Structure 1
Amino acid sequence: MSGDESENGLRVLYNAECPACRFEIDHYRRWTERDGLPVGFDDLNGPERAEWGIEADAAARRLHVRRGGETLSGFPAFLALWAEMPRMRWAARIGGLPGIRTVAGWIYDRIGAPLLYASHRRRQRRRAG
């Protein structure tokens, strides 16, 4: 994998062509780099995606995180990422509470991710011509 992944590090697969995704992930990247955390970031539009074994369209639909041998996607991926960052652990704890996890996961799956994916598809169509 690319970046400075340690053996037990966390990897994030995200869409760097999505302005909202890139904005959020850039914050996380700065925080993890500043704190020296073993978190790496892979753009799904680059060659690193092949190492994940996830098709481009599936990868564009939601955030993916790999921790050890486990790949998480959607809201659980955010929880895993937040748990790695001292300044976001509070969000992981709150977001992981049973009722909140269910509601936040539903909102991500039914509203947030589909909106970002639709925007991604529009950008692809415009680029194609």
Structure 2
Amino acid sequence: MSETDVLYNAQCPVCSREIDHYARLTEAQALPLSYDDLNDVTTLARWGVTADDAARRLHVRRNGALYVGVPAFIVLWQSLPRYRWLAWLVSLPGLYRLAHWTYEGVLAPLLYRSHLRRQAKRA
């Protein structure tokens, strides 16, 4: 199995809840996945992405290839035995388009705006 790295926003309540769930599964099954918080400056340097780009969508790296958005979820789910069925399902052409539209057009923008509001409150 290949090494898979996940870059996510640990300060986002929705993102952290979901990724924490995956991390628990990873640990329980000793899977070769790692989870990096985009709020760590050294992490962003290793990933080669800006904090803003990282906050906009989920990023996953496998075997040196970078996946962003729905493709990142698919790669992550393929790495988790319990979620391989979901990766397969979302990869189907019609469902992929629906998932892409929902994530890119609705969910990711909502989460990103929430991220900006949290940052503004901290400033």
State the TM-score, normalized to the length of structure 2. Answer: 0.97
Deviations 1:71-110 (A, max 9, x none): 0000110000001111001100101101100110111000
Identity %: 54
Corresponding position of 1:35: 29
Count of residue pairs the alignment pairs up: 122
Give the C-alpha shift of residue 69 in structure 1. 1.4
What is the match of residue 8 of structure 2? 14
Give the aligned partner of residue 101 of structure 2: 106
**C-alpha distance in 1, partners of 2:35/2:66?**
14
Structure 1 or 2: larger helix share? 2
C-alpha RMSD of the superposition: 1.0
TM-score, with structure 1 as normaliser: 0.92
User: Which letter maps to 2:107?
Assistant: G
Q: Please identify runs of 4+ aligned residues in structure 1 that moved more than 3 A.
A: none
Where in structure 2 are there 5+ consecutive unaligned residues?
none
Alignment map for 1:82-121 (pairs within 5 Å): 82-121=77-116
Partner AA of 1:92 in structure 2: A
Given the alignment of the two structures, is residue 56 of structure 1 paired with residue 51 of structure 2, yes or no? yes
